[in-house]
Structure 1
């Protein structure tokens, strides 16, 4: 909309319309400033997501995070350079203390061409063009040549080519910006350059963020796995098991070969089922390969080998809900030892307390980040013997997600918004029944170029907040931020902001 207004104003200038047109340029410039601020907020969220991803997985996200920081630094540098040029032009026209957002000599048509095109043989205009072209080349170097849409957008937004001839005249790119226009129009056009830069920065930052998982395998099912070192342990020995979370893609079946023979795939599980009769006592080794298509379409081979012993199995510890305990919650666990009655099993745990719950147990972890170790002993033939132990990770309950009407971003109608009573918080796809209550939040929007915000000290919208939402028009941005929620575990969480566009 702002770009359309700018084009209309430029057309009116060509018709020598009166001073009201010049005043309208300041309105357009203020609109561009608001647009730039919106891009800044949007980009800040993307860079925050980059930093979080790099912190959680430096090997996977570290290089892309560093590249994103470079994009931001180069964009900020060019943006600030253009701002300095705008200040220089306005000060030259209005004198010291001039304000680029309130130009006195709006109709000045001499200052811009004099300083940008004439002085020092047009050095400033040449440097500006070179800076934009260097910035454009850098951004293009980050984009895969196959992404033609983004490449076209970058070239269009940062175009410095000479415009087509008009009535026999062939103005240069710099002349088409600084020659023949009043100062207020020149400054507004430079603001549009900055807006286009922030928009392009947003496109490239999001493009880089998407590359974090571009070459990663996609999975749709998680499963806790226990892989014992051996299923047979002599008395006095130690039972060892690897406990981990596996991920599978049930929509893409692999080809699994064992001893050069293909084995069947379990429907909906994405895993093979290998069966062999246990007819001979002793150790038996076997091997094979998994053929799986990677995201680029290539078949990758993953060899494996296994060993088993035909003998009586021993202890099995299987967590009810994966190998993770959550602090502040009752975590159900089942413990059994084959051949031993449940009343003869003696379990103990570190960094937690454990209470019987029917045939199972409830574990109450103490400190997140410190593993809990369950050690199982059993009374066998009147003697207490150690059977084995298993490690569990203790994690903090994840932060809930704040929503209004089940949404936390995107578009919403004003009527839909006004039907909602407040802000709610819940943890999506969490296996435990853990409730959070929002205790405060702030609703804010931009009105007349200024931020207006209203606070609630509960999870419900206040009358002031409702009135603020009633004043919104189509296209307005509404932010719900500074959201604080308290959980049943007694912890207080600061939640991510909600952003809506009114349609």
Structure 2
């Protein structure tokens, strides 16, 4: 850009261009540095509020310890230990910021505030904490102090069910393990988070860590008061559940199943008792925290499973009762076959049926018979043909591979004769002539177990003194209406020879529909 062939004027322009770019870069850098400073100030304010809040919780816990020493005395002592550990580490981080960053970087406070825009380099801190690809003694000391804080907290917190999420949170917040960078390479935690960063960025990260210290304190103190944010995971919220591999067992068969805590809380109990017998935890508890059961079932009938889980929570034994039951059924020697509607099957109708074998799953049961068709698990429809009876044969495969079979014969009946209707009335009815003229002729199956849609195709009507009129459909035609108009009060109009069919099965021939007699009322 400033080659020897350029004119003096062009060299000057190029130099001004470079200065302009540098000024833009400096402006952007100052904005970023100021943003870090503002972020640091917000963390400082949040930390001050958290400190005041934590002091209030500690005071409340101390008061509770005085009023209810049996419940809170031990928790109050542990809270005091947490406070000492946290304050010590918080001051350590404050010392690191003051000495390793501010003093070491030779930054001077302006009215008590950091010179954000001047803290754009991190070379002084890099020299103090890093040497080549390794950490200096000071760098090692920083990481060791974070690990010590984490381990000191965990040593005070009970290693029990409801505290496990708190411990996991501490591990996550103060994890100093290796970190994979954007290029897929592993770097030490201190190197990844601090090397090569501006001093103000490193300073703000340490203030953010102080905020994590305060937040962790708050969660632990609330836990000692019984207001743990993760209290939903307390074992008091769980219920012991007996899960059998199947709902019923044959006499003499081994019961196989599990006793689990709701949500599968992977917490090892201190004791497990079932049926008054204490079980060996080494063999009884699996990797999910479920207790495995394996015993010979009793006689035919319903049996209870009773016992208890014993855990430690807040340093005290917590018993969770185990309540369950199982049913022992005899080995099957007959099938259960029933028609869902009644003990017969009707010709012309898809008769729904349930076919099963006691104690045998539906996929191991096979049924056959003329007109029988499976439609689901244990569900069938029977469409009987000619004849008066139909036999259904059932075969079941038992768990031990043996087979059991049974059969049952059903009577076949025809659909009963429908009853004719006019204006939805049947038999002998009284109606005005006008109602007969506009009425609809229909047919229905009274007290039949199936709700079959029946449609009328034609009928005949006879008015006294008038010739019989043939009508197609369900409504009176003009000839029928003319005849009805001539009827007198007290005349009996007869609607007969009603032709009808099942709407969805026109091929089935229904029996003759009974007539309707209408006594004219006007």
Q: TM class by shorter-chain length?
A: 0.3 to 0.5
TM, length-normalised to structure 1: 0.38
TM, length-normalised to structure 2: 0.36
